[in-house]
Amino acid sequence: MKMYLISDNIDTQTGMRLAGVDGVVVHEREELRTALETTLANKEIGIILLTEKFGHEFPDIIDDVKLNHKLPLIIEIPDRHGTGRKSDFITSYVNEAIGLKL
């Protein structure tokens, strides 16, 4: 299975291309929807990498794909500007998951 990148900036796409991952750069809502539909139709793709910006700006589109498709796996990655998450997001996630404060 292959990985495929849907990014909001060319720098992330360039970095992933150097690692051997194909992808596309999109900026608008309909461009994202079209890119996801095209990617979902390709049965060779097992993982879709999305920059975190899409998860923040278009959560309805991303959630729809996650809920209605078993494959491919969708992973949100930070772009070159870093992550939009809090610095302690992993600790918070573990605390929430197991119910203990670390």
Q: What is the pLDDT of residue 86?
A: 64
Alpha helices of the chain — where are they, by DSSP H?
10-18, 29-41, 52-57, 59-68, 89-98
Q: What is the pLDDT of residue 12?
A: 84
Question: Could you tell me if 24 and 43 are in contact, meaning their C-beta atoms sit under 8 angstroms apart?
Answer: no
Mean pLDDT by groups of 10 residues along the chain of 102 residues: 89 86 91 90 90 84 84 81 59 67 60
Q: What is the pLDDT of residue 34?
A: 92
Q: What is the pLDDT of residue 51?
A: 86
Task: Kindly report the CATH number that applies to the domain delimited by 2-98.
Answer: 3.40.50.10580
